[in-house]
Amino acid sequence: MSRLHRYRPLPRRAGLLLGAWLGCGVAALGVRVPALAEELAAAPADIYVFGGEEMPQLNLRSSIMVDDDVIRLGDLFMETLSIGDTPIAQAPAPGGTLALDARFLRQLARAYRLDWQPESKFERVLVGRMSHRIDSATVLAALDDSLRARSGNGAGLEIVLDGGDAEFVLPTNLAPTVGVLNLQYDPASQRFGALLVVPATGPTAQQRYVTGWAHETIDIPVLNRAVPAGTTIRDSDLEWTSIRADRLIGNVVTDPRQLLGMTTKRPLRSNQILRNSDLALTPAVRKNSLVTLALQSGQMSLSVAGKVLEDAALGQSVRVMNVTSKKELVGIVRDPATVEIPLVGHLTLN
């Protein structure tokens, strides 16, 4: 049956020395640990004598994670200690780490009369601090919501912070939320500034003032895969992406209907911005080819031979000629052999 380790109270000098260690920060670790070891080594030898009943050998943990502002004696060993709640060092900052080296651990064990000695001078305990991380995506989403509410503009935004991404690391007892205060935004220049606070509600643990750009965006169709030259674009080849509105220069295609049935003039990459100059018409029927002119009206259907007067793609309107009457009509290319003639409208061109 396992039992709690017993100990004898520390002499006043050892207690004061360990108490002084509690005040040192992570940055001071390399200075305070050697100083503590030297002080303890110089103390009277009788304070390190193991007394009382015999205790089992302790087993040191090689690494630990703490969720507190301090490291406690019981965190360091696998066995349960009666004085396990005793603070022995300040914990690293949330998300950070520090190392307790063999020299410090040996003096700690002697001071608290623990039956443990380091096996080598390289033995250590790596201590990590649990944390919440607020990533850049969460920060940008909070800014996006605030900028939309401020401007009343329903357009999409691409937010770019000066100085790169902004992230926060918090202790686990605080909510991983971010609030936006004192927002200033100039629609003409698309510049903004705001104070970020975390958590979003309650006492502020961290705050940071940020500036950046809020570019308006627009959704456009792009290819969802790389295609070689000569590819006919189908609806299944397309997806939507957002780009900055100020990059819509030249003949950028913004309507997917401008792409369907078109043929690529050159190899195109996935998600590439498409321009009219990248595409060519894909004729389903060619000039002077013979097709069937089909007219459907209720239960009545008529078909006559026709001649195509211009190249046209599937679904496009095309001028054709009735080879019997020599009259020109306008129809819709249904397939490479058929042009459908609408019943309504002025069909003749002459």
Q: Nearest-CA neighbor of 59 among 5, 23, 129?
A: 5
Q: Which of 217, 237, 270 is the last residue of a domain?
A: 217
Contact 294, 334 (CB under 8 A): yes
Is 164 in the same domain as 246?
no
Is 271 in the same domain as 316?
no
pTM more than 0.75:
no
Q: Which residues have C-beta within 8 Å of that of residue 218, sequence separation ≥ 6?
A: 155, 156, 242, 243, 245, 248, 254
Position 350 in a domain: no
Q: Is the pLDDT of residue 91 over 70?
A: yes
Position 6 in a domain: no
Is 74 in the same domain as 41?
yes
What proportion of the chain, given as a percentage, has pLDDT over 70? 82
Is 297 in the same domain as 262?
no
Across residues 87-103, what is the average pLDDT? 95
Name the token pair of 133.
Answer: 């991380």
Q: How far apart are CA 194 and CA 183, in angstroms?
A: 4
Q: Which of 74, 97, 130 is the last residue of a domain?
A: 130
Is 115 in the same domain as 68?
yes
Q: Is the pLDDT of residue 101 over 70?
A: yes
Tell me whether residue 16 is exposed, middle or buried, using C-beta atoms within 10 angstroms of its C-beta: 0 to 12, 13 to 18, 19 or more.
exposed
Position 94 in a domain: yes
Is 158 in the same domain as 235?
no
Using 50, 70 and 90 to split pLDDT, how confident is the model at 316?
Answer: confident
Count of other CB atoms within 10 angstroms of residue 154: 6
Residue the block writes with tokens 């609408």:
342
Domain count, the chain: 4
CATH of the domain at 18: 3.10.129
Segments forming the whole domain that contains residue 227: 219-281
Position 101 in a domain: yes
DSSP SS3 for 324: coil
pLDDT score at 45: 36
pLDDT score at 55: 52
Is 88 in the same domain as 171?
no
Contact 312, 333 (CB under 8 A): yes
Q: Which of 200, 217, 234 is the last residue of a domain?
A: 217
Strands (E), 130-167: 132-134, 156-161
Position 43 in a domain: yes
CATH of the domain at 265: 3.90.1210.10
Position 4 in a domain: no
Q: How far apart are CA 198 and CA 142, in angstroms?
A: 11
Q: Which residues have C-beta within 8 Å of that of residue 252, sequence separation ≥ 6?
A: 220, 273, 274, 275
Position 347 in a domain: no
Is 269 in the same domain as 302?
no
Q: How far apart are CA 75 and CA 77, in angstroms?
A: 6
Provide the pairing of β-strand 290-297 with 338-340. Answer: parallel
Is 68 in the same domain as 158?
no
Q: How far apart are CA 15 and CA 51, in angstroms?
A: 18
Is 192 in the same domain as 230?
no
Interior angle at CA 17, CA 12 and CA 19, nearest 5: 90
Single-letter residue type at 1:
M
Q: Nearest-CA neighbor of 125 among 180, 37, 66?
A: 66
pLDDT score at 127: 97
- Kindly calculate the radius of gyration of the chain based on its CA atoms and give it in whole angstroms: 38
Is 182 in the same domain as 242?
no
Write the pLDDT tens digit of every residue in 184-237: 999 889 999 999 999 999 999 999 999 999 999 999 999 999 999 989 899 999
Is 121 in the same domain as 62?
yes
Torsion angles phi and psi, residue 232, rounded to 5: -85, 125
